[in-house]
Amino acid sequence: MLALGKLLELTLTGREPAQKTQLTVDGARLRWLAEGALEVCPFEARDNGMDVLLSAGIHGNETAPIELLDRLIHAIARGELKPRARILFLFGNPGAMRTGARYVEEDLNRLFNGRHASSCGPEALRACELEHLAETFFKAPERTRLHFDLHTAMRGSKIEQFALYPYKEGRKHSRDQLARLRAAGMEAVLLQNKPSIVFSAFTYDQLGAEAFTLELGKARPFGHNDGVNVERLELRLRQIIEGTEPSLEGASLDGLQIFSVAREVIKHSDAFLLHLPADIENFSELPKGYLLAQDTPKTRWVIEEEGARIIFPNPMVKNGLRAGIIIKPVKATAFA
C-alpha cells in the first residue's frame, strides 16, 4: 500500500509524510495537502467531472466515520478502489482526535461561515484552514460538487442514521439528493430553515456544493464501532468514487422520514433550564403544551407544533448557542 494511504496513522501521530505525492497503479494521484488532508485525483482520462469532499473527525471522539474514511483511503492506495471522481479527504480536528475528545478548546463545528474570525485558539485556526482547503478544492468551474460531513451523536437516537440538509435563500432542496441519502442508509432528513455555522452549511452556502451533515449512530472510541452499521453508506461512497452510482432520477423515497426545523432553543443565560431527562434520545416526541425550556424572566419554550420532536438537546452549551432543535414532520409527497 502507498504510504499516503496511512493518512489516519500520520494524523494521529502528528507526522508529515516524507513523500507528499504518490501515484496508484492505475494512475490516480494522491497528494498530502496539510495535516489530515489528502487530495485524490483520477487519471485524467478517467475523470468524470465530479468533486467529492468527505470529512470526518470534526469532533475528535466520533470515530466510526473516521474509520470509514480510513478504509476508503486504504482501498484507493492499494489500487482496489479506482476513482473516477476527484476526492478530498479531511480529518477535521487532529488535536481532538489524538486525545479522544470532542474538541480541544471549543466546538469546531460552530466556527464556519466566517465565525472563526471572532474567535481564537486551535479550533478557530483549523476552521479557517478547512474553509480554505474546501474553497481551493471546489475552485474548478462546471463540475459537480458533493460534500458529506460524517458524524456520530453524543446521545442515543430513536432514528439512528439521519442527515441535516443545509439552507440557502432561493435554493431548493433536491429530490435527487434525498434519494441519494435514502440509498446511503439515511432513515430521516432534517431540512434546515436558515443559514448555519457548521461545515456542511459553509460548502453548501458559499461553495455551491450539495452538502450534508450525516449522523451515523452514537460516538464510541476507536475500535469499538461494531454497533455503528455504515455498510449502505460505504457502498454508496464507493460507487460515487468509482462513478458507478445508480441513477438518482425517479429513485424511491419510500421509508425516508422528512422533518423541518420548527424552532431553535437558544440558551441566553446561566439561568437556562431544559426540562428533559439527561438521557433523552434524539427524535423523542414532545406533547403539545409541554414546557420544554425556560431562561431569563418571561423566556419560555412551550410546544405548540403537532408531532413535534427534539434533537440535539444540550443545556451545557455556551450562552448564545443552540441548546436544542424542535422539529416537525414534512410529507415526502412534497418532493414528488
Q: Where are the domains of the chain?
A: 3-242, 267-335
Check if the beta carbon of residue 77 is closer than 8 Å to that of residue 30. yes
59 carries a ligand binding annotation:
yes
**3-class secondary structure, 116:** helix
**21-37 pLDDT, tens digit each:** 999 999 999 999 999 99
pLDDT of residue 227: 66
Fold type of domain 3-242:
Aminopeptidase (3.40.630)
Report CA 268 to chain centroid distance, whole Å. 26
132 carries a ligand binding annotation:
no
pLDDT of residue 331: 83
- Choose which CATH entry (3.40.50.2300, 3.30.70.360, 2.130.10.10, 2.40.50.630) describes domain 267-335: 2.40.50.630
Check if the beta carbon of residue 71 is closer than 8 Å to that of residue 234. yes
Beta-ladder partners of 89: 38, 54
Q: Taking 70 as the threshold, does the pLDDT of residue 74 lie above it? A: yes
Share of residues in the chain with pLDDT > 70 (%): 99
Q: Taking 80 as the threshold, does the pLDDT of residue 332 lie above it? A: no
Distance CA 146, CA 46 (A): 18
Instruction: Determine the average pLDDT of the residues in 310-325.
Output: 91
Distance CA 162, CA 157 (A): 10
**231-277 pLDDT, tens digit each:** 999 999 999 999 999 999 888 899 999 999 999 999 999 999 999 99
- 305 among known catalytic residues: no
Instruction: Determine the average pLDDT of the residues in 166-183.
Output: 95
- Residue from 215, 281, 285, 304 carrying the catalytic annotation: 215
131 carries a ligand binding annotation:
no
Closest CA to 164 of 281, 313, 325: 325
Closest CA to 134 of 72, 198, 70: 198
